[in-house]
A and B are shown apart, each in its own frame.
Chain A
């Protein structure tokens, strides 16, 4: 049996790549991880997991190679896979996982953990298909004040990955997959882990944090693609430095619209338009577009298999149905869309109050709930501050205990303690960067909090 036969992640037709292209599953900073080793580990951990009584497993890994091993092992052992909203112990507890499969076991001292890197059992790969009905639970920020659980079946992910390969497989060939986005949210899970595994494209296990890492990787691999987001791409100063220039077969961007100037810059400097992908955790991938000069708003093209419903004459709520929406049924996006001919459409912003901070969806109501639950806080209002970067600002009325702490230890200490609490729940990008401690929240004569007056608290002090 060659390596290609062993990567049976999903049933169905597979891309035609040579066996050598399946030999390397992932590259590390300076080495490579081979398919045989990968599959022996998956089989060994799956065997171990089958003997464990826990059914609901959170998968929390910092390293994408271990994440991929863990994903397949849990799927083979037919465990429910849970991806908490972020990687802290509080997120795992909120998701009601019975145990955690992780490469960071010391992060979860009070939970049942299995160190994915420490399982010594190994096994021979069993070439059986995975169960398409296997349940996968993802989390995203809702508008209601609590993290929102989104259920997927493995078959939905399989269908979506197959559609991505139909759309771009030929262009990408055997390119190495580089990424700047996390693997535990749907975009990263599909684009940097499951799609490469299924298509036999090696992925680069570290997450690239600096633009110059792409140069280093591009010259090492010679051929690659980038899975990124506007938060990252808007901060790359020079795409002409991505050398050799023909090494980049595609630059994917998702999470928010790519600003016009950045899209133009990528096209002009790298000679290749970024591919924007539109979708959400609830709907999966919906559509894509290449930036085109001088068209105003570039329309979105539906991915193969996607149907949309939206008014044609005026923007209205966009609904979506595809083989990877839940039970292939219609799902509302929360975005305003306008249908065009030939399965294309335009987007016109959100229909609800869900906000994004640097491409990440955040519920301010939820974060306010966490703050008010702290003994130092009696009231809290959060707002999105716009500047060179977008960030969250916090306006806080301290409780008696909070005021005592402020007098004894100072505002910096109070802020630090509140941040520590929020960091157990939120990704670093989302925690408030600016704080204002006030006597009372600024209200108008009607007792309503005015957002303009909240904003003013931050502009006055620069």
Chain B
């Protein structure tokens, strides 16, 4: 089992190295390489997001319709908390340069001075890469902790209820948090959005993208390793048992509520990590844009790739991004063939793809396989040897 997980992880590492080399050190035209570089970063971030969704939906059968909430919490951790911490650290230098403390009047800062202050902070972070790294890791860790806590908190009222009630509660919780934080300026500059200092301000141009590619790939590899190990552990097998028949699992002594809480906390933490990475990568976040569509994009990726296995989750993300990018590039050409407005083409194609996959290949591109466990005879032999 361990060897299987490690082999898959090694395959992922090799794939990332190959596509990384293609994007950063190949003779492809620069404009194509730049697109590949950025798509790879998105795939790595959304890979983490969809793998975490897979644990909830694919392994446990939890109706996670509020997944975008954790991207939002990640953005709040970075744009609303970690950013303010850096501003506090540099507040005296900012006061010297601009004559005002940035957080003294948050509404003015958000509306007028964010870019000037952030530009100054970036210059200072460029001189202090260690602090930049600390700020990056703090934001990431905070996002994970907050997401885990809030994930359980928001789901708790319906954690014992039937799946549909829990799904609706999670969906509503995501919207509730989005609307409340979007209109609260102190959280992350509300409707203006938060400009985020760059933790890797020392890296410019393509180097910056390379740093983000390495960072996001490392997190993706770690996420894959952890989630695949969990999925193939006794814990993972218990999750599948609950998914397939809650009643049967309960009869065998499995506490369904405890499993739900653990999975929600663990998966939410990693979705929060994806949200934090996205916010850092963009240097900017506006909380009002974390709409439920991002939950359903995650579901689309997962359904296409295959539920209940992490390879399928990553394949779904890759296929989604490649198809979407090709559609963006060629939709105007397709318009001539289809004689239709291409604006909604991507929505139509992905909608159709989901219907077709669910009708003809509900297991997705990469189907779930039974978990390999150690042969019972080998277990008996080991026990016998120990007894002797």
Bind each other: no
